Structure 1
Amino acid sequence: MAGRRLSPEERDLWGRVTDSVRPLPGKRLRTIAAEPQAKTETAGPVAARTGKTQAVPEPAPRPVRRPVDYLDKSWERRISGGTLNADFTIDLHGHTLDAAHRRLSSALAGAIAHRARCLLVVTGKPRSGPVVPGERARGAIRAEIGHWLATNPHADAIASVRTAHPRHGGAGAIYIILRRNN
């Protein structure tokens, strides 16, 4: 509840909780002063009539980081020269869309947990030419993978998504470069 004052018992209890925990690196614990924590301001005529104040909202969360098209020279040279070694490889070629989506999410989470920097994803070549009715659609995974990565819970850990070198699958595969501090 924004703007609610804590009772002395609640303040004491919160103080004991904060004394028993250690903040994450780079973070600090919120403390509760004797007065309300949030700055207050009146909310216009309604506040004047009721005598209530409204808490000032906290700043908006940090924006989500998006993949970039260009990495530094070292990465670009390794990608274009085919010398980039993937930490993990996953082959989605031949799977259904649902199975491929689940496998990609799982592989991405695993790569992040192991602090990997590069994930090679084999998708199959993109669709070429018109779709013939009654024929199995080609390139469906490749067509969806951009959307899957953008909506993945770990999307902000992705530094770049690049087409793989022909040695690693060319147009039928992509490199997912993960951020160092993911």
Structure 2
Amino acid sequence: MTRRPQKTLSDEDRVLWNLVARSAVPLKGRAAPAVEPPQPAPPAPAPARVAPAAGAPVPEKKPSPPRHLDRPTLDKLAKGRLPIEARVDLHGMTQDEAYSLLFSFLHRAYASGLHYVLVITGKGSSSGGDGVLRRSVPGWLAAPAFRMFVSSHEHAARHHGGSGAIYVRLRKVR
């Protein structure tokens, strides 16, 4: 019998597995196995700065912060005339888990050339308080780490989750 090569889990799979493993109850008489905490993504190395040669094109400036979606685009998304090409559900996750999953999801969607995605944050607890992710995710989308992917964002239409979901327009791949 030959052994298969061992596969490593993606960040998204690791977050999902940790959620499932935490909800599992051990069999009678057995101790619960230790669940490893999610590892934050290593920071990307800073690109080396090289002085431009004379006559060389000027390097592009940093992407501008995300804006809100314009009204016609928002209406088309709400009515289904513009397709939502992917979605991610952050329900029940901690902020660290949700941040790493959202970053990896948007990175893959951007690399795949997708234009519009839906981020489901949930509306929060039923005790009347706003959800932590519902408050945090719009700030994350405006942060410098997400600017390279996100062009604009806006709360979703009622049938897509309303204030518990966000439409995100991704930048075009260069």
Unaligned residue ranges in structure 2 (runs of 5+): 1-51
Q: Which residue of 2 aligns with 1:121?
A: 119
Q: TM-score, normalised by structure 2?
A: 0.58
1:144–1:72: structure 2 CA closer, same or farther, 3 Å change rule? closer
Find the residue that maps to 1:104 and give its secondary structure.
Answer: helix
Are positions 1:100 and 2:95 aligned together? no
RMSD (Å) for aligned C-alpha atoms = 3.1
Find the residue that maps to 1:79 and give its secondary structure.
Answer: helix
Larger Rg: 1
Q: Which residue of 1 aligns with 2:16?
A: none
User: Once the two structures are aligned, what percentage of the paired residues are identical?
Assistant: 31
Q: Which residue of 1 aligns with 2:148?
A: 156
Give, in whole Å, the separation in 2 of the partners of 1:84 and 1:64.
24
The farther-off stretch of 78-87 and 104-113 is 78-87
Give, in whole Å, the separation in 1 of the partners of 2:144 and 2:135.
16
Count of matched residue pairs: 122
Give, in whole Å, the separation in 2 of the partners of 1:97 and 1:70.
25
Aligned AA (1:106): S
Contact 1:82 1:165 in 2 (8 A): no
Q: TM-score, normalised by structure 1?
A: 0.56
Are positions 1:79 and 2:77 aligned together? yes
Aligned AA (1:121): V
Are positions 1:174 and 2:171 aligned together? no
Matches within 5 A, 1:11-160: 62-71=61-70, 73=72, 75-125=73-123, 139-160=131-152
The farther-off stretch of 172-181 and 76-85 is 76-85
